[in-house]
Chain A
């Protein structure tokens, strides 16, 4: 038995950023996921969602849960990341000043996701898009 939900995330609209992570969080609360895991999943989902809104041309977040694991997948169509190791460095960001003024784009997103997930993988093709898979063990 598992749940697998896919939520589309539109690019550019900061006012809807957070909707997907809120829905996923609600589901986890209902399921009684231990609060430490729930917190980590929420932080990662929110970061992924913000990334899709800020950096991509649109994408989707998939939330999968089994009795053993929670898997969050982020897929987007967009510019891709030319140098992933650089992008994984804290404080490195390509976000515009406009985005930074809104309190985002501090270059903490990807490192934060990696830190909070039990397993983290990222692959990106320049000019095509980025895929991230994060696994959390229940």
Chain B
């Protein structure tokens, strides 16, 4: 099976340290031959490794701005996170105008897509028999995390496309209708704060094909945009998003927009995992909606953003204060949102961390892993190149490592070998000494074979 991943390794910069290894939420990294290796089947493109690598050896592949020229008509889809990136800019208009100056023919705010998706979700919660809690599908890293680590919760995932997809769909439809041009000639590009969005465009989950044609990293166009904002451009005539959609960039914004009574929002992937574990144990029986965001501070904390996410959060609040529209402008596209935005491909569990074979064989292997894990020191130091002793045990059983990858096991083995060598040294020394002659004489048994022929010759 082929996997597309936006997150990649720059081998030349990788020192083979254990920082990313220890932080990967799905244990998708190994250090082998002094470099990190990403296990494609397990990587969820959350970008944690990009954030923690001090050597900048991890990076995300996104499209260059030039990619927009592959299309005759170009539409920018700014994530609301973009509005919080520019110091001193507390209004959305200069940012949208600056985007146009980069060569786009139109801008469709993803915040508008968010408003339509929020509406669809609230309708579904009201009219359909949904599992509790419903889990947001907005953060693609969390959807993939559920596929790998929480397959039992797949049915709880919201079965609508993300705001980015909704924005691309309606942006293209509106543009095509307004200008009378064919859909294929329109390219919609997401201005992205994260790598996972790029992956979800190239390898969508729940859809056969993404409506989005590419993703451009916020950090890649930041300089050009800053310059354009300073110059000042005229604001195009477009339908605007309200604060309801813009707020999606802040943790809890989605929950507010959906308007559910009993909801929970958690940011930071480790925190999300802890709560999903509890949801799996059915601890939150009254919970109706769960918004989980891989990055601390949600999309504002995405690995491809420029501004510090805490500063960005304050700035976005200020942007919202100065945004005139406080309520959603329900255009005609809202009417059939529940049908038009519905996912049409089933979300499958990712079984890459499951043992293979019959149940009997799996039990056998699992028991072997348990025994190996128990025999390892349990320090989870990562020096072996696997993220934990348990992961090393798995790797050994799968022939991808040996027990001597463990530095403590290696140390023990070296001590044993050293002891043997001391013994060997001692016995050779005795061979040439008078004591040994005495010893030999006494025992009369120490064979010539054991001493080695060379020494006999001397």
Contact = CB atoms under 8 A, between A and B. Distances in A.
Nearest to B351: A32
A8 interface: no
A125 interface: no
Contacts of A18: 277-278, 281
Contacts of B363: 1-3, 31, 65-67
A25 B363 CA distance: 14
Given A3-B363, A5-B370, A67-B363, A29 B281 contact: no
B369 interface: yes
Interface string B272-292: 000001101111000000000
A35 B281 contact: no
A69 to B, nearest CB: 11
A32 B370 contact: no
A27 interface: yes
Interface stretch (A36-44, A72-80, A82-90, A92-100): A36-44
Nearest to B278: A18
Contact of A46 (B151, B154, B281, B370): B281
A49 B47 CA distance: 35
A56 interface: no
A97 B353 CA distance: 42
Nearest to A21: B281
A126 interface: no
B127 interface: no
Contacts of B354: 29-32
Interface in B348-382: 349, 351, 353-355, 358-360, 362-364, 366-367, 369-370
B152 interface: yes
Contacts, number: 64
A5 B278 CA distance: 22
Contacts of B154: 35
Contact of A31 (B277, B282, B355): B355
Contacts of B359: 31, 67, 138
Given A30-B366, A30-B369, A43-B282, A67 B358 contact: yes
The winner among B351, B358, B366, B370 for most chain A CB atoms within 10 A is B366
A46 to B, nearest CB: 4
Given A2-B363, A27-B366, A42-B281, A32 B152 contact: no
Contacts of B283: 46, 103
A3 B370 contact: yes
B398 to A, nearest CB: 12
A43 B370 contact: no
A31 B366 contact: yes
Contacts of A27: 366, 370
Nearest to B358: A67
A39 B280 contact: yes
B320 to A, nearest CB: 34
B277 A22 contact: yes
A109 to B, nearest CB: 12
Contacts of A29: 149, 151, 353-354
Nearest to A68: B359
Interface string B151-187: 1101000000000000000000000000000000000
Given A1-B364, A32-B362, A43-B281, A38 B355 contact: no
16 contacts: A1-B360, A3-B363, A18-B281, A25-B277, A29-B151, A30-B353, A30-B355, A31-B355, A31-B366, A35-B154, A38-B152, A39-B152, A39-B280, A39-B282, A43-B281, A66-B363
Nearest 6 pairs of A and B residues by beta carbon: A35-B152, A32-B354, A67-B359, A46-B281, A39-B152, A67-B360
Interface of B: 149, 151-152, 154, 277-278, 280-283, 349, 351, 353-355, 358-360, 362-364, 366-367, 369-370, 394
Interface of A: 1-3, 5, 18, 21-22, 25, 27, 29-32, 35-36, 38-39, 42-43, 46, 65-67, 103, 112, 138
Given A18-B281, A67-B358, 16 more contacts: A3-B367, A5-B370, A29-B151, A30-B353, A30-B354, A30-B369, A31-B354, A31-B362, A31-B363, A32-B362, A36-B152, A42-B281, A43-B281, A46-B283, A65-B363, A67-B359
